[in-house]
Amino acid sequence: MAIEKTAGISRRSAAAIGLALAVGVGIGQLTPIGPAAAEKPVPPAAPGGGPQTPTAKVPLAGVDMTQTYVNPINLPGMAVRNIVGTMPPTDANVANTSQIPASLNQETWTAASGRTLASRSTVGFSRISENSARTGADWSALNVDGTIYLYASGAMQNAPNNNRTVWSTTDYLTWTPHQMNLGLVAPTVVQIGDKFYMAGNNTPVYQADSPTGPWTSMGNFLRPNGQTLSVGDVQFFLDTDGRLYLTYNIGSPIMGAELDPNNPRQFISDSVVMWTFDPRQEWQHIGDNKATYTHGYVEGSQLFKVGDTYYLSVASGGTEFTTYSTGVMSSDKPLSGFKETQQNPIGYGNNHPSAVYPNAGHGSFVLDKSGNLVFFYTYVIAYEEFFERRLGMDVCNVIPAGPKEGTIDCELSNTPQLAPGKKISGRDDVGLYNVATNSQAYWASSYAPGRNPYYGSDRSLSTWWEPADSDTAPTYIRGFGTVFHISAAQIQWKELGRTFTKDNAVQYTLEYKDIATNTWQPLVDRSTNTTAYTADYVTFDRVLTNAVRLKVLGTTENVKVGVHELNVFGENYNLAASKGMITP
């Protein structure tokens, strides 16, 4: 179980304990050779209990790669948002300062003053949007008898016209989309008995007999005195004793109240302040560089419980920035006594700089039937426009003992991980590197101006390789700079233009260079693919190679596509060990 973690041992440091036992054979099995079964020594802790020198990844033995995933998640049918952005024709009204003095002249500032100042300081600016963009965010998970349902914001349209898709899974590997009769921004769903209740930003409360609807309105939230209440970033929490709570607010402070479980729109307690923006904590500052003390957009709260401890998570930093992140506080009561007893934000920097983006924004935690604490979070791209976002997923742990007892420990990943519940000897990171990041080793059949093949594997989702318009057989080759055993790949597609829908599927093949024969050999055939993945994660039988070749055959909607990132996952630990380079 994920909550049975040894104090002070993270899943990355656990990778240094040694290779695990084989657990079976299957497609994409990662098989050791030579002396790779030897244990790898753990380096000594730094004086005073400080950070350790990171250890190299060691591949797990006998892993069935079909049981792994990579972030961002391979989620089918993600919504498309089309916001056309252009530059103002002149700079006459850009950086307009006429509205700023009123904010500056206030003797005392609050977090709301900071938000006002931010909006006034951006008057006249505009973001350029070249293409439509896939988007999904504000993830809210619900466990229904072992099936996880995942709700999300989509194109950020007002209810009931937002994303109407809810995805379900029983294994975290295969996600099934279901279409609902309405869609909300930042939705939350709770099951009480045989009924389901959903609410979103400034919406009524809806009820249904199924987690996928159809949903019917019960009316808006009501204060104890009967006054209607319209609130944003709401999250239901049903306690183990049957009592129901709501946390809410976009911007400081985060509020909480108890609801009537027999009528979930009815507040039965006055709202209380649960979290306020703290400008002294850098992670709460807005912006990629965290330079702004005045506001943090503390939002996206969730109340959840592990054992007897209540946790309150909030997001801050701005959902249009890649440093959007999540912090956690804990208490022994549901609406009071919350204290920050851990390092925030969770997951911060643990795998930097190997992560594409090292932080996790507005999302939710869920305990599954096996006791895994799974965190679904917003993975920010924000190139085409503010709300271009994806889904991230990682298993978190509660430290059971020691000075950090009770703290939530999450490490964000962007290399293959075993799906929640499938750990081998306590490990879920299978020990592979992204080997397709050598900036010198690439070739393409063509490239559009400013979209050269370097950008197809530069660890940035703000850039992409794009073939020339005249290229009828787009081909992209990525070399590794040395030789690796590879067993998985992830293609993050860049759909171009403004005509594609959430159902647009890319068709392609992936090959590898066979070293013995110096010929291209097949790895993956998606030539008839009809599933619309934005981040297509594929696994295959383990091969030794120095390059892969991607052939783009087209899409189901005849849309031109490029490649944000072609990630290939592999290792040469076993090769080095078999040649005597690594001493057992």
| Domain boundary pick from 387, 422, 457 | 422
Residues 222 and 344 in one domain: yes
CB-based contacts of 436, cutoff 8 Å, min separation 6: 457, 478, 480, 489, 548, 566, 567, 568
Q: In one letter, which amino acid is 38?
A: A
Where on the phi/psi map is residue 235: left (φ > 0), alpha (ψ -120 to 50), or beta? Answer: beta
Q: Is residue 237 part of a domain?
A: yes
- Sorted by sequence, the CB contacts under 8 Å of residue 77 that are 6+ apart come out as 165, 177, 502, 503, 532
CB 408 within 8 A of CB 396: yes
**What is the predicted pLDDT for the residue at 343?**
86
Is residue 69 a contact partner of residue 393, using CB atoms and an 8 Å limit? yes
pLDDT at residue 287, as a whole number = 85
Domain-embedded: residue 124? no
The model's pTM:
0.90
Q: Which of 379, 400, 422 is the last residue of a domain?
A: 422
Domain membership flag for residue 25: no
353, 454: one domain:
no
Residues 446 and 418 in one domain: no
- The CATH number given to whatever domain includes residue 483 is 2.60.120.260
What was the pLDDT predicted at 143?
A: 97
Q: Are 360 and 444 contained in the same domain? A: no
Tally of helices (H runs) and strands (E runs) in the chain: 4, 35
Same domain, yes or no: 320 and 442: no
DSSP secondary structure, 131-162, as one string? S-EEE-EEEEEEEETTEEEEEEE-S-PPTTBS
454 and 314: one domain?
no
Angstrom CA distances, 493 to 404, 507, 563, stand at: 41, 11, 5
Instruction: Pick the closest to residue 286 from 117, 153, 140 (CA basis).
Output: 117
Q: Give the distance between the most distant pair of CA atoms in the chain.
A: 79
pLDDT at 7: 35
- Note whether 477 and 406 are same-domain residues: no
Q: Which helix (H) or strand (E) holds 114?
A: helix 111-121
Same domain, 188 and 291: yes
Q: What is the pLDDT of residue 382?
A: 85
Q: Are residues 565 and 446 in the same domain?
A: yes
* 573 and 534 fall within a common domain: yes
* CB-based contact 228:205 (threshold 8 Å): no
Length of the chain: 584
Q: What tens-digit pLDDT sequence spans the chain (584 residues)? A: 444 333 333 433 333 333 232 323 334 445 443 333 333 434 444 444 555 676 888 999 989 999 999 999 989 999 998 888 889 899 999 999 988 988 898 899 888 888 888 888 889 988 899 999 999 999 999 999 999 999 999 877 766 667 899 999 999 999 999 999 999 999 999 999 999 999 999 999 999 999 999 999 999 999 999 999 999 999 999 999 999 999 999 988 999 999 999 999 999 999 999 999 999 999 999 888 888 888 788 999 999 999 999 999 999 988 888 889 999 999 999 999 999 988 899 876 444 433 344 578 999 999 999 999 999 999 888 889 888 999 999 999 999 998 889 999 888 898 999 999 999 988 999 999 999 977 789 999 999 999 999 999 998 888 999 999 999 999 999 999 999 999 999 999 999 999 999 999 999 999 999 999 999 999 999 999 999 999 999 999 999 999 999 999 999 999 999 999 999 999 999 999 999 998 76
Does 99 fall in a domain?
no
Same domain, 228 and 321: yes
Match 């939230």 to its residue by tokens: 221
Are 506 and 493 within 8 A, CB to CB? yes
Q: Which residues pair with 78 in a beta bridge?
A: none
Instruction: List CB contacts of 374: < 8 A, sequence separation 6 or more.
Output: 2, 141, 148, 172, 365, 366, 367, 368, 393, 394, 395, 396, 420
Question: How many domains are contained in the chain?
Answer: 2
Based on the fold, state whether residues 205 and 319 are members of the same structural domain: yes
Domain termination site, one of 398, 422, 446 = 422
In a domain, 563, yes or no: yes
Report pLDDT for 37: 35
The string of DSSP codes covering 387-420 is T-EEEEEEEEEE--SSTTTT-EEE----S-EEPT
Q: Is 57 inside a domain boundary?
A: no
In sequence order, what are the residues at sequence separation of 6 or more whose Cβ sits closer than 8 angstroms to the Cβ of residue 103? 113, 116, 117, 120
Structural domain boundaries, residue 352: 136-422
Count CB atoms within 10 A of the CB of residue 194: 7
User: Is the residue at 18 inside a domain?
Assistant: no
Say if residue 581 is exposed, middle or buried (CB neighbours under 10 Å; 0-12, 13-18, 19+): exposed
In CATH, what number is assigned to the domain containing residue 267? 2.115.10.20
Asked if residue 230 is part of any domain, the answer here is: yes
Show the 3-state SS of 155-166: CCCCCCECCCEE
CA-wise closest residue to 331 among 245, 268, 264:
245
